Amino acid sequence: MLHVRGAEVGGHRVLRAETTAVPNGITALLSHLLNLTGKRPSVYFNWGEGNPLLHLLRYMLSGHGDVPPLTREIIRRAEPDPAKRPAVYVGV
C-alpha cells in the first residue's frame, strides 16, 4: 500500500509517502507521475554506507536495504526502454 500526500518543507512543496517497501513505493510513484503527466520524473539519492551485496541480501530477506540501487533495479525491470524510465541520480 502506498500513501502519498503533499507538504511544505522550508518553503518547498514536497511529496511525502508511506509504503511497506521503499524502493517499490518510489518506483510506483514515479511510474504514476510519468503516466499522469507524460513527463519523465527524476529522483535524487545519496549513496548509503556499507557493502551493496549485504544491502541486497538484507532487502531480499527483510525488505530493508540500500534504497538507490534497489530502486534503480526495480525501475529497470519495470520499464525495459531506458528512454521511458524515470531518471535516477545518485550522488555523495
Counting as low any pLDDT under 50, the low residues of the chain are none
pLDDT recorded at residue 23:
87
Tally of CB atoms within 10 A around 92 = 4
Q: How far are the Cα atoms of 19, 57, 74, 88 from residue 91, in angstroms, in the given order?
A: 24, 23, 19, 10
Q: Write down the pTM of the prediction.
A: 0.74
Are the C-beta atoms of residues 48 and 91 closer than 8 Å to each other? no
Characterize the bridge pairing of strands 87-91 and 42-46: parallel
pLDDT recorded at residue 92:
62
pLDDT recorded at residue 63:
67
